[in-house]
Structure 1
Amino acid sequence: MPSPEGTHQVEVSEEAVGKRLDRFLTDALGTLSRNRIRPLIKSGLVLREGEAVTDTARRVRAGEIYHLTVPPAIEPDPEPEDIPLDIVFEDDHLIVVNKSAPMVVHPAAGNWTGTLVNALLHHCGDSLSGIGGVKRPGIVHRIDKETSGLMVIAKTDIAHQGLAALFESHDIERMYKAIAWGRVYPASGHVDKNIGRDPHNRKRMTTLESGGKTAYTHYELEENYNDIACLIQCRLKTGRTHQIRVHMAHIGYPLIGDPVYTRPKLSRTKSLPESRQNTTRKFPRQALHAQTLGFVHPVTDKPLKFEAELPSDMKRLITALKG
């Protein structure tokens, strides 16, 4: 695939009239993701009649000619690190990994090294997708630091563009396994509550009657552990921050080990031997695992579906709960 770097001239056809500028350029070029084009527009790198156009939502008109300059990708701040990755699938366009807990996805304050980004930079090298003019892995979705399981990462711009579109249209199959306090009732159902920042604690998310973002989680009971706790399947139609954790806490079944949305009810575990009580009460993370990931390959159109079995710590927790 030719490099997208350099200046591109694009004329608006009759079929493209009325499109947002960022969508028009994404569709017209076909080699850059919308997430990469947006910051280029905002940085003044898109010209019309010699003048910079910085409004990504501007509606294009017939006959207009735009010039887009794509700068070379710059080296990222994160350094490549030789960190083992559990690779489930990889080709020239994307990679699927089974992320361990407590691996952080992006470097940030307190976690500048040892992240998935650092590992991917070492593993993929120069094949990574350049997004927003920055040479870094094309991560199109995230899972929390303390959540384990499957993630897909783009290695090329065309894959990033296609994956981003699939997530935006909710055409991704995602099934999580979670261990929650209590026994969910009814045994299957859904939570359809908007999620946004908790106005009383900006580090938490919460369900909202108005505002926030739409969020839909379908849950199903898989195993019951003496009514102390249960294993549930959660299928997502949306992918909001902390969605499963917030939704399950909202209906009264918070996840074991979740330090943000629950406090363990110690009376629930009194029937267990002391050693098993400790395993349950002191579980060090939210008991949540991204087990299934399915989508149509954005380049080959081949249907893909991956499974990652429960990690050993969640298996030990189940053994303790069974008593």
Structure 2
Amino acid sequence: MTAPENGVRQFTVAADDDGVRLDRWFKRHLPQVGFATISRWARTGQIRVDGARAKPEDRLATGQVLRVPPGGAALPAPDRQRRELTEEQRAEAAAMLITRTDAALVLNKPPGLATQGGTGMRQHVDGLLDAYADDGAPRPRLVHRLDKDTSGVLLVARTPGSAAFFSKRFSGRSARKIYWALVIGVPEVSEGFIDAPISKQPGTGGEKMHVDEEGGQASRTRYRVVDRAGNRAAWVELQPLTGRTHQLRVHMAAIGHPIVGDGKYGGPAAFLTGAVSRKMHLHARRLIIDAPGGGKLDVTADLPEHFAASMTYLGFDEGDSRAEPQAPPPERSRDEKKQAARAHAKQYRKARRGERRGRGAAADKPSAKGPRR
């Protein structure tokens, strides 16, 4: 930046701001200048790009020179105010890092660690991001989330420009994600799609989702059974084709095969006896996403200890998975979606009736010790 004596400043557009709207550039670099001021400056010709008048919606290009009138002096960006971390927190951050590029950090989030803070949530990934920030560089930014009890690949953008780039890929659904899960029982169809709309479940304060055929948001998941442990459990690959809250957990429970350890959606039936951990067995195994400047970022995350131990106990071999993302199927009509959702709901109710009968029979069965007196 240069600042002549009259207070007019000149900024050279950096590569990270290539393609950004003029008003967004101000939000990044001069956040204290309001939109009304930007509009007035543009309307009166006080903002210039390479000497020409510019509008707030105009997009900037690398190397262009932006002229800004006096007022709204640059302040330290909020994301440069570093949080002091303990040695233990820095070690925790270092242990999560899978790979680092100029644009991104890719982490392997452990189960039990929240992605972002919330009420009563003091430990989270967002609180550890200062451990990855270089001196003078922007603070890394989250661009997507994993549930607290879900482990695996989590991408973090290193600059504002890469954050915008990756966010578009996630919202545009061009990012391909593969999850591994252990589920209760074995789906009758070994490979297919779950197409069931999801919405917040009334009375839960938005903390729980459910299949909602009438008012839910379109939600689609591809699944494939990789292996089975008799009829007790199955190892499945899951590919979310939409990004709804708790989508994979809701969809697997809706077809009668809740994820092992997911008591929220599977109830007591979601837990296995023996050496299988009671933790959630859902892991973001692989992420494939476009990288700024071209090419692909393709990253795989190792299983957490409890998941790997359960795989071994159930006789599953990680090498049996091809973990390849598949192209989404053609979009179905509204009537076809409703019909599929009803079929899934019917299958789920049928499975739950079987559970209740089983519990009732067990309760009626006389004890070997005879009745208590």
1:232 aligns with 2:236: yes
Deviation at 1:303, TM superposition (A): 1.5
Per the alignment, do residues 226 and 122 of structure 1 end up closer, same or farther by CA in structure 2, a change over 3 Å counting? same
Q: Which amino acid is the alignment partner of residue 290 of structure 2? A: V
Per the alignment, do residues 164 and 30 of structure 1 end up closer, same or farther by CA in structure 2, a change over 3 Å counting? farther
Structure 2 residues not aligned, in runs of 5+: 3-7, 12-17, 44-52, 58-67, 317-373
Q: Does the 8 Å contact 1:26/1:32 carry over to 2?
A: no
Q: Sequence identity, in percent?
A: 25
Tell me what 2:177 maps to: 174
Tell me what 1:102 maps to: 112
Residue among 261, 279, 283 paired with 1:289? 283
Tell me what 1:48 maps to: 39
Q: Does the 8 Å contact 1:256/1:264 carry over to 2?
A: no
Q: Write the mapping of 1:31-46 to structure 2, written as runs, cut at 5 A.
A: 44=35
Q: Give the Cα–Cα distance (whole angstroms) in 1 for the partners of residues 55 and 24 of structure 2.
A: 19
After TM superposition, the structure 1 stretch with the greater mean CA deviation from structure 2, 303-312 or 223-232, is 303-312
Per the alignment, do residues 146 and 27 of structure 1 end up closer, same or farther by CA in structure 2, a change over 3 Å counting? same
Higher share of residues assigned strand: 1
Q: Indicate the RMSD between aligned Cα atoms, in angstroms.
A: 3.6
Tell me what 1:186 maps to: 189
Per the alignment, do residues 221 and 43 of structure 1 end up closer, same or farther by CA in structure 2, a change over 3 Å counting? farther
Q: Does the residue aligned with 2:166 lie in a helix, a strand or coil?
A: helix
Structure 1 residues not aligned, in runs of 5+: 10-24, 53-62, 130-135, 270-276
1:317 aligns with 2:310: yes
Q: Which has the larger radius of gyration?
A: 2
Q: Does the 8 Å contact 1:220/1:234 carry over to 2?
A: yes
Tell me what 1:87 maps to: 97
Per the alignment, do residues 122 and 221 of structure 1 end up closer, same or farther by CA in structure 2, a change over 3 Å counting? same
Deviations 1:271-320 (A, max 9, x none): xxxxxx2433xx332210000100110x2212121112322211221233
Tell me what 1:156 maps to: 159
Per the alignment, do residues 253 and 159 of structure 1 end up closer, same or farther by CA in structure 2, a change over 3 Å counting? same
Q: Give the Cα–Cα distance (whole angstroms) in 2 for the partners of residues 292 and 238 of structure 1.
A: 16
Deviations 1:107-161 (A, max 9, x none): 2222223x212222122245664xxxxxx53111000111110011100111111
Tell me what 2:204 maps to: 201
Q: Does the residue aligned with 2:183 lie in a helix, a strand or coil?
A: strand
Per the alignment, do residues 258 and 79 of structure 1 end up closer, same or farther by CA in structure 2, a change over 3 Å counting? farther
Q: Which amino acid is the alignment partner of residue 243 of structure 1? A: Q
Residue among 143, 148, 160 paired with 1:145? 148
Per the alignment, do residues 41 and 221 of structure 1 end up closer, same or farther by CA in structure 2, a change over 3 Å counting? farther
Q: Give the Cα–Cα distance (whole angstroms) in 1 for the partners of residues 260 and 113 of structure 2.
A: 19
Q: Does the 8 Å contact 1:147/1:285 carry over to 2?
A: no
Per the alignment, do residues 170 and 320 of structure 1 end up closer, same or farther by CA in structure 2, a change over 3 Å counting? same
Q: Does the residue aligned with 2:264 lie in a helix, a strand or coil?
A: coil
Deviation at 1:192, TM superposition (A): 1.5
Q: Does the residue aligned with 1:66 lie in a helix, a strand or coil?
A: coil
Residue among 121, 129, 150 paired with 1:120? 129
Q: Give the Cα–Cα distance (whole angstroms) in 1 for the partners of residues 36 and 118 of structure 2.
A: 28
Q: Give the Cα–Cα distance (whole angstroms) in 2 for the partners of residues 197 and 236 of structure 1.
A: 18
Q: Give the Cα–Cα distance (whole angstroms) in 1 for the partners of residues 211 and 313 of structure 2.
A: 31
Q: Which amino acid is the alignment partner of residue 282 of structure 2? A: L
How many residues align? The count is: 273
Per the alignment, do residues 78 and 217 of structure 1 end up closer, same or farther by CA in structure 2, a change over 3 Å counting? farther
Higher share of residues assigned helix: 2
Per the alignment, do residues 125 and 248 of structure 1 end up closer, same or farther by CA in structure 2, a change over 3 Å counting? same
Residue among 301, 305, 324 paired with 1:308? 301
TM-score normalised to structure 1 length: 0.73
Tell me what 1:57 maps to: none
Q: Which amino acid is the alignment partner of residue 170 of structure 2? A: F
